[in-house]
Amino acid sequence: MGNDNIAELAAVTKRFGKVLALDEFSLVVRPGELLALLGPNGAGKTTAISLLLGLARPDKGSAFLFGLSPHSMAARRSIGVMLQEAALIPELRVAEQIELVGSYYPDPMPVAQVLELTGTKSLGRRPYGKLSSGQKRQVQFGIALVGRPRLLFLDEPTVGLDIQSREFVWSTLRRLIAEGCSIVLTTHYLEEAEALADRVAVVAKGKLIATGTVEEMRALVVRKRITCRTSLRAEDVSLWPDVQSVTADRHGMRITASNAENVVRRLLAADSDLHGLEVQSAGLAEAFTELTQEVR
Amino acid sequence: METATAYPAGRAWRAYVVEAKYESLRMLRAPAFAGPFLVLPAALFLLFGVLLFGPEIAKDPKTAWFMFLGFSILGVMGPGLFGFGIVVATEREHGLLQLRRALPAPLSAPLLAMMLMSMLFVAIIMASMAAVAPLAHLYIPVLKMLALAMVCILSSAPFCAMGFLIGSLASAKSAPALVNVLYLPMIYLSGILIPLPKSAAWIAHLSPAYHLDQLALTSLGAPHEGSWFLHVAVLAAITVVFTALAVRQIARRG
């Protein structure tokens, strides 16, 4: 394992019956970074996380946490975990749940500090079973933080949260990163990855198909989006060179172009009344779609 | 390279204490789950041993003892089998067991906490049985009652292990049915509530309830079958084998 890596999957292969979940898959998590693991459903993200957490063993290859086996108790004492589907004990109050999980760690945060950090102070005395699904996610986030982890695994942490709570989680994550914590985040919200991630890893069909910063991912996609209001017909524009797709409705026309400059010149020449022109670079969403489509 | 966090030796016990504290709180807050286990054995003994057949039993103390031990053993089996079976299956299905495995939680801490709770339940059940025994003209000396209670409390372990294995295999919905499939034949085939015909008496040896019944008779100084050592060995072997199978199952499939 590389000396700088907090966690690593080294050429791991994992099968579930006939399904090849991960195929010679390698991934590293570096100190102090937020790594977003992206991929369509069934891509292998959860399997990768399971191997790093020691919940499953690779058929081939190796998994490391802090240079140790993920099954090692010593390694697990430095991680925090928020799984996508993990109901806590419904009869226990929120503060009690946090104290219980804190008892597994060498130097846990005081319960009050966890409640403060996750914006759940008002929930401390409420039974977990009586919380809304969004509130339960907030408590699970607190459970992940109570052990002062140096590596945090978050699986879809903001699903079911309202905008305010989501912003709160994001600001807490930024604070943790600033304090040197490493985070592995899986999310279906690409804007979440775009807002938080230092590095993105795109997984499809059990393989790591691209990795880099959000900017590097965007740069992989040369397409640009053009929007405008025009009297030109979408069927005609779609036949122009450099135009990849066109849609039009009462709000205007949206064009995806491989060479935006050429298309804009021709648009302006063809329609002198054209207005509301905007050209945008592809976002992470477009990059993700294009990258994962290539391996389908 | 990053190093793993050291664990102060003084904190090792804390997870066990906190786990036991919250396991008991959790049970206290779910009276609908715990109540029937605690009330049923003494209530059944009162119904059959006092209300329905009280006059007959007054003439035949052997039948009173038979019923008293039968319903006591019924009480020993319930908390371990149902408590472990249903709680472990539910926690597995809801992902809590997987979360515990990912966290630095010692797997033995919640198991020991649940086992202690089952033993506490058995202690309460035995206290309630001792309280109602005089109503069926059974007057048990304190020391003998304590010895019987101790045997029953310790003998709840194999039933916890059997419940643990069911919980590690079954879904939350099917666990209660599977526990009943095991629980009811174990009671009836052990001959602890309904005597078996002599030709079928050997079947009782297959049921852990029979071995517990023989140990209970030994603790009371009453006539019993086989050596106490053999009965202890059978119950200990069931505890070890079923626990090992359940731990293996959870490690493999979560």
Q: pLDDT tens, B31-62?
A: 887 888 889 999 999 998 888 888 888 788 78
Q: What six digits make up the tokens of A33? A: 């970074």
Q: Is A267 on the interface with B (CB under 8 A)?
A: no
What's the whole-number mean pLDDT along residues A186-201?
Answer: 86
Q: What is the pLDDT of residue B2?
A: 45
Whether the CB-CB separation of A206 and A25 falls below 8 Å is answered with: yes
Whether the CB-CB separation of B19 and A102 falls below 8 Å is answered with: no
Q: What six digits make up the tokens of A279? A: 């050209």
Chain B residues in contact with A126 by the CB 8 A cut-off are none
CA distance A26 to A9: 5
- Residue A172 — pLDDT band, cuts 50, 70, 90? very high
CA distance B123 to B24: 14
Q: What is the pLDDT of residue B77?
A: 92
pLDDT over 80 at B3, yes or no: no
pLDDT over 90 at B97, yes or no: no
pLDDT over 70 at A139, yes or no: yes
Q: How many DSSP H helices and E strands does chain B contain?
A: 12, 0
Which of A155-164, B28-37, B69-78 has the weakest average pLDDT?
Answer: B28-37
CA distance B136 to B60: 10
Q: Which of B103, B117, B247 to mutate to probe the A interface, most A CBs <10 Å?
A: B103
H-helix or E-strand containing B108? helix B108-132
pLDDT in tens, A51-76: 999 988 899 999 999 999 998 988 99
H-helix or E-strand containing B229? helix B228-253
pLDDT over 60 at A183, yes or no: yes
Q: Is there a contact between A53 and B102 if contact means CB atoms under 8 Å apart?
A: yes
A284 CA to centre of own chain: 11
CA distance A245 to A266: 16
Q: Is A67 on the interface with B (CB under 8 A)?
A: yes
Chain B residues in contact with A1 by the CB 8 A cut-off are 1
Whether the CB-CB separation of A129 and A90 falls below 8 Å is answered with: yes
Rounded to a whole number, what is the distance in angstroms from the first to the last CA of chain B?
Answer: 31
CA distance A175 to B220: 66
Q: Which of A89, A126, A139 to mutate to probe the B interface, most B CBs <10 Å?
A: A89
* Residue B129 CB contacts under 8 Å (≥ 6 apart), including other chains: B41, B42, B45, B68, B71, B72, B75
Chain B residues in contact with A76 by the CB 8 A cut-off are 102-104
Does the complex come out with an ipTM higher than 0.95? no
Question: How are beta strands A151-155 and A182-186 bridged, if at all?
Answer: parallel
Q: What six digits make up the tokens of A239? A: 């036949």
What is the pTM assigned to this prediction? 0.80
Nearest by CB to A87, from B26, B96, B103: name it: B96
CA distance A280 to A170: 25
**Radius of gyration over every alpha carbon of chain B, rounded to an integer in angstroms:** 20
CA distance A187 to chain B (A): 18
A-to-B residue pairs, Cβ atoms closer than 8 angstroms? 107
Chain B residues in contact with A54 by the CB 8 A cut-off are 101-102
- Residue B6 — pLDDT band, cuts 50, 70, 90? low
Q: Is A141 on the interface with B (CB under 8 A)?
A: no
